[in-house]
């Protein structure tokens, strides 16, 4: 029996690999990622970019694992295992540790759908065992992606639903291959479900399963959870799956693509042929004209089901590349329509939003809710999750004029979970209401570093929108939210001045609020969220009235004002 996973458990966020590739290119590290000096340098640039935390990593192993993950997924060319292979690899592939064609495609892609396509090309090419992952004891080659698709489609046929639970991935899927037989794997899943459904103590049942797996494979119980977490994350990165609780389900929008891929045969001709396919990215069904038309027609049908119709009479559909342009437009529009539905749901999700905020305030990572749902903030993604949950909080107020995707500057996946923080050069979020504009910045930074990291940029971003909305009757407010507000940061925002390029001075209305104060305010209005928008403007005005006080007193005044409002709701 074999235990497999995509890549390694060090890089759990698939799309962060793109950040690593960009750094390798920008810092001119291509072909120079090996040896103590270069590995230390790669570790350092990853840390300086906020992609990793070194935490005293004296062995500089994190950078090596990042290089390994990038290579395993075909974004970097591999180093040959034998010296005799070096000339062949250079001739047929490329210089070791340089960026491959699919890696370059990944860097160029600017949208989530583009990123997903790059990952899909990688995962569709990914085969176990291979030159990069020999997997002793496993003689028959298989595609993990196609194996999972085949199991889930058969599961859907047997049960009516394609959903695959986290425990089923951990205990069955990643411990199986097509040699076990798709029917047999599905029977095991159904049997596990039936056994678990009879148990009143689900946690104890799960723990026993992990204990038995650990004994069987001679590994720690946590290994199976870690592998399942990574496998589900990487499968989702293809865009073929949606999150369903802690598990996954097949995407309806990608059904034609799923069916086509699941029927393809896995072929491993030789090592060089495999590595070429992996580094160039697998050919996909929509790369030929008939396949591209089939996928396009399915997407058009999905769009029509949502009440929108697309006129293709002026579109050029002569080549797959032309069809791809139209396909991207439809996929982006479907994403927007889904996001509108997601935004409408947030008011009913206010209790979950508050629980996420409480995780940040309490400095915990995970909590099981009353309905059994487990919410979790991945340690390496805390900054992104903080932006995400504040965005959800303002969506819940349900009074925005701008679109939900215009209100955030960070990217989200197909299930609207964050995949990155907002890029530099602008605020984290912009919420436009009928009578004001909120320019929102959030941070986990504390102490005096907070003012250095946020003081100038926050004022500059608020000034941009203050100038933009000048004369419209809408005042631009800056809302700065942090776990704790450093006094020097508060003082910078208290003064609230900015000079424009023509030396005109404008006053800025920035209010720094502790996260727990924001949480208390949101909780107090949780049953009447629509009222909060109007009261927020008054609260901001009251906070700005107190700016003549010294910064320590002003900080206390802001908390006191919020406390008074909370008590009187």
pLDDT in tens, 246-293: 899 999 999 999 999 999 988 898 999 999 999 999 999 999 999 999
Measured CA to CA, the distance from residue 356 to residue 362 in angstroms comes to: 10
pLDDT score of 139: 72
Average pLDDT, the chain: 93
State the DSSP code for 129: S
CB neighbours of 151 closer than 8 A, spacing ≥ 6? 164, 173, 182, 185, 186, 189
Cβ-Cβ contacts under 8 Å for 57 (sequence gap 6 or more): 43
Range among 139-143, 201-205, 345-349 rated most confident: 345-349
**Which single residue is written with the structure tokens 């499968």?**
235
Q: What pLDDT score does 7 carry?
A: 77
Task: Reply yes or no on whether the pLDDT at 97 is more than 90.
Answer: yes
| Spacing of C-alpha 385 from chain mean position | 9
Q: What span, in angstroms and rounded, lies between the C-alpha atoms of 534 and 398?
A: 12
For residue 513, the cross-strand partners are 481
pLDDT of 57 > 70? The answer is no
The three state secondary structure string of 400-432 is CCCCHHHHECCCECCCCCECCCCCCCCCCEEEE
With beta carbons less than 8 A apart as the criterion, state whether 334 and 306 touch.
Answer: yes
Neighbours of 215 (CB within 10 A): 10
Check if the beta carbon of residue 529 is closer than 8 Å to that of residue 397: yes
CB neighbours of residue 554 within 10 Å: 22
Total Cβ atoms within 10 A of residue 512: 28
Distances (CA, A) of 459 to 423, 443, 478, 540: 16, 14, 8, 16
Q: How many CA atoms lie within 13 A of 459 on its CB side?
A: 21
**Residue 1: band (very low, low, confident or very high) from pLDDT cuts 50, 70, 90:** low
Whether 55 shows a pLDDT value over 90: the answer reads: no
What is the tens place of the pLDDT at every residue in 386-433?
A: 999 999 999 999 889 999 999 999 999 999 999 989 998 999 999 999
Q: Residue 314: is its pLDDT beyond 70?
A: yes
Q: Measured between alpha carbons, how far is 54 from 60 in angstroms, rounded to an integer?
A: 8
- Say whether pLDDT at 373 is over 90: no
pLDDT band at 59 (very low <50, low <70, confident <90, very high): low
Prediction pTM value: 0.91
What whole-number distance in Å separates Cα of residue 161 and Cα of residue 228? Answer: 20
Q: Please state, as a whole number, how many other Cβ atoms lie within 10 Å of the Cβ of residue 172.
A: 22
- Answer yes or no: are the C-beta atoms of 119 and 109 closer than 8 Å: no
Residue 540 makes CB contacts below 8 A (sequence gap 6+) with: 477, 479, 509, 511
Percentage of residues in the chain having pLDDT higher than 90: 78
Pairwise CA distance, residues 104 & 49, whole Å? 20
Tokens of 239: 């865009």
pLDDT above 90: residue 217: no
Q: How many CA atoms are closer than 13 Å to the CA of 261, on its beta-carbon side?
A: 31
**Residues 49-64, mean pLDDT to the nearest whole number:** 75
pLDDT at 9 over 90: no
* Percent helix / strand / coil, the chain, rounded to 5: 55, 10, 35
pLDDT of residue 445: 87
Reported as a pLDDT band with limits 50, 70 and 90, residue 80 is very high
Kindly state the tokens that stand for 376. Answer: 């979790």
Whole-angstrom Cα distance, residue 226 to residue 292? 36
In the predicted structure, residue 569 carries a pLDDT above the cut 90: no
Report how far residue 487's alpha carbon sits from residue 450's, in angstroms, rounded to the nearest whole number: 10
- The pLDDT assigned to 385 comes to 96
Answer whether residue 517 shows pLDDT above 70. yes
Whole-number pLDDT of residue 459: 94
For residues 130 and 278, give the distance between their C-alpha atoms in angstroms, rounded to a whole number.
11
Binned at pLDDT 50, 70 and 90, residue 42 comes out as very high
């Amino acid at each position: 029996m074999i235990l497999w996973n995509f890549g390694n458990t060090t890089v759990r966020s698939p799309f962060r690999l793109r950040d690593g590739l960009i750094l390798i290119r920008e810092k001119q590290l291509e072909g120079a990622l090996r040896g103590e000096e270069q590995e230390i340098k790669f570790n350092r640039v990853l840390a300086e970019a906020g992609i990793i935390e070194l935490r005293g990593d004296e062995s500089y192993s994190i950078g090596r694992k990042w290089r390994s993950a990038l290579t395993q997924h075909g974004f970097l060319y591999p180093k040959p295992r034998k010296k005799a292979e070096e000339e062949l690899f250079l001739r047929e592939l490329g210089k070791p540790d340089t960026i491959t064609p699919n890696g370059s495609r990944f860097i160029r892609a600017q949208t989530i759908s583009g990123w997903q396509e790059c990952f899909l090309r990688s995962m569709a090419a990914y085969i176990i065992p291979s030159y990069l992952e020999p997997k002793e004891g496993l003689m028959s080659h298989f595609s993990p992606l196609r194996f999972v698709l085949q199991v889930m489609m058969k599961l859907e046929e047997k049960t009516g639903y394609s959903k695959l639970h986290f425990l089923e991935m951990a205990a069955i899927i990643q411990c199986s291959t097509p040699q076990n037989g798709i029917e047999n794997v599905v029977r095991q899943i159904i049997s596990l479900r039936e056994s678990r459904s009879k148990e009143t103590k689900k946690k104890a049942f799960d723990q026993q399963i992990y204990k038995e797996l650990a004994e069987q494979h001679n590994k720690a119980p946590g290994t199976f959870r870690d592998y399942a977490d990574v496998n589900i994350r990487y499968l989702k990165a293809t865009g073929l799956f949606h999150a369903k609780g802690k598990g996954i389900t097949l995407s309806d929008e990608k059904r034609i693509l799923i069916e086509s891929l699941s029927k393809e045969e896995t072929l491993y001709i030789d090592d060089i042929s495999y590595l070429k396919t992996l580094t160039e990215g697998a050919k996909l069904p929509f790369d030929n004209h008939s396949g591209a038309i089939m996928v396009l027609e399915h997407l058009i049908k999905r769009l029509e089901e949502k009440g929108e119709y697309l006129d293709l009479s002026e579109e050029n559909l002569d080549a797959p590349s032309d069809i791809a342009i139209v396909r991207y437009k439809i996929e982006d529009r479907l994403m927007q329509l889904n996001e509108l539905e997601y935004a409408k749901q947030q008011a009913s999700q206010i209790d979950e939003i508050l629980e996420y905020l409480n995780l940040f305030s309490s400095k915990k990572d995970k909590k099981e809710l009353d309905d059994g749902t487990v919410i979790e903030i991945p340690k390496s993604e805390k900054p992104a999750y903080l932006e995400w949950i504040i965005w959800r909080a303002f969506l819940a107020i349900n009074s925005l004029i701008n679109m939900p995707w215009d209100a955030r500057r960070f990217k989200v996946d197909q299930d609207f979970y964050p995949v990155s923080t907002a890029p530099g050069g602008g605020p984290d979020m912009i919420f436009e209401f009928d009578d004001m504009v909120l320019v929102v910045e959030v941070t986990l930074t504390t102490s005096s570093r907070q003012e250095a990291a946020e003081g100038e940029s926050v004022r500059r971003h608020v000034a941009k929108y203050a100038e933009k909305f000048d004369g419209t009757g809408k005042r631009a407010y800056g809302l700065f939210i942090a776990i704790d507000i450093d006094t020097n940061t508060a003082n910078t925002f208290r003064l609230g001045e900015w000079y424009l390029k023509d030396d005109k001075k404008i006053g800025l209305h920035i209010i720094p609020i502790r996260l727990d104060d924001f949480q208390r305010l949101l909780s107090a209005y949780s049953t009447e969220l629509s009222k909060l928008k109007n009261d927020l403007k008054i609260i901001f005005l009251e906070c700005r009235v107190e700016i003549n006080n010294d910064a320590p007193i002003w900080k206390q005044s802001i908390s006191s004002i919020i406390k008074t409002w909370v008590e009187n709701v």
